[in-house]
Amino acid sequence: MKIAVVGTGYVGLVVGACLAENGNTVICVDKEASKIATLNDGKMPIYEPGLEEIVRRNRHEERLSFTTDLTGAVNAAEIVFIAVGTPQDEDGSADLQHVLAVAREVGRAMNKYTVVVDKSTVPVGTAARVRDAIGRETTQAFSVVSNPEFLKQGAAVEDFMKPDRVVIGIDDARAQEVMRELYRPFTRTGAPIMFMDTASAELSKYAANALLATRISFMNEIANVCELVGADVDQVRRAIGADRRIGTSFLFPGVGYGGSCFPKDVKALVRAAADKGYAFDILRAVEAVNQSQKTRLVEKMESYFKGLKGRSIALWGLAFKPRTDDMREAPAIAIIERLLAKGATVRAYDPEAASTARSLFGNRITICEKGYDALSGVDALAVVTEWNEFREPDFDRMRTLMKSPVVFDGRNIYSPGQMQSLGFTYFSIGR
């Protein structure tokens, strides 16, 4: 099939590359010429495991190309994906200006029947607004489909190629057959293609992310209670996770969630409910818990050191999760800002997010090229992101490098007993 994907951000690039990998001819469009030039030079604007290889292979096979020419891409395509950003507006709602601007451009460029697919995360009612925007610009027949993405950063390629389900909001049979044919190769192992009305499809993405965010905040609250009553959150987590009604996913306590999806989608769902006169109190609490959890490690440091002025703190991990360079809403940002406000200095290391961190903090913190470099002369180490390379470090070397062997483990990746036996003063979450 011939496909255009408008937007070469995280979602658009993954979608375009994975569709090309299955034999489709895909043109990815972006108005940012420098980004298209970077992609045409064979370089990646984001870090996502496996994505670079797929892009390189499909460019070589001439199934995947990149351009700033939206009209040409739409003319060549039978399906057009809109995968541009929906940044959070000041009131918490999703800003649809980019989606609707692209819809108008697609309408003006359309020269035949085209299926237009909303792939961006959008609030309920967006499909109707996109249909309206396109309809004002063309007399061609077209269909608008809602097809939310459920991609985990760090595993996005696998999630797209082997989905749990494909959700498609649709209102006409012609487009339904086109979408069924498009996704059939990805669902051969039995994953369902779930056709439904567009409102239900649009709400499904927000509901899924909001529920996962709720589990995280709930488990962080349980961890905080564990500290007060002397319980071990790992034991509690295993006990409740063994319940088949609950399961084990997203029950790991830590320093809060971040990234491009959970914070924005929770706020957008709260706002959408408020616009209809409904106070979504559970999600308001989820947000509040998450914000306070992000600085819990700093509170532990303040308590231990009796103040942080003049202290040097190392951070291992800056991205909001492993296997990505994304620092949007990352807990590390709140932790660093609080440490600096309290008079501490910060030395930080992340395997992929160093460049992003430099753009955020400039020379206010020291970004190190190697993990052990961050430990030189520090009063304590805070583990903020659970990259695999942090799980089995050289503890003897750590003790030698650090001014004092104190570790604040925001991801519970070490054993308290082991750390004590190795001579570390150790703090974790809920244990």
Q: Which two tokens stand for residue 317?
A: 């991990």
Gyration radius of the chain's alpha carbons = 23
Instruction: For residue 261, indicate whether it is catalytic.
Output: yes
Q: Which two tokens stand for residue 50?
A: 């496996």
| Region at 108 (left for phi over 0; alpha for psi -120 to 50; beta for the rest) | alpha
Task: Report the C-alpha gap between 5 and 79 in whole angstroms.
Answer: 8
Report in angstroms the alpha-carbon separations of 171 from 115, 150, 176, 199, 200.
12, 21, 8, 11, 12
Query: Nearest 5°: phi and psi at 196?
Result: -160, 180
Q: Which strand (E) or helix (H) includes residue 26? A: strand 25-29
Residue 367 in 3-state DSSP? strand
| Region at 165 (left for phi over 0; alpha for psi -120 to 50; beta for the rest) | beta
Active-site residue (options: 18, 28, 261, 368): 261
Using H for helix, E for strand and C for coil, what is the string for 131-169?
HHHHHCCCCCCEEEEECCCCCCCCCHHHHHHCCCCEEEE
Task: Report the C-alpha gap between 93 and 268 in whole angstroms.
Answer: 5
Single out the residue of 223, 15, 246, 260 nearest to residue 119, CA to CA.
15
Query: In DSSP terms, which residues pair with 166 in a beta bridge?
Result: 193
Contact 321, 301 (CB under 8 A): no
Q: Which two tokens stand for residue 72?
A: 């040409």
Catalytic residue ranges: 261
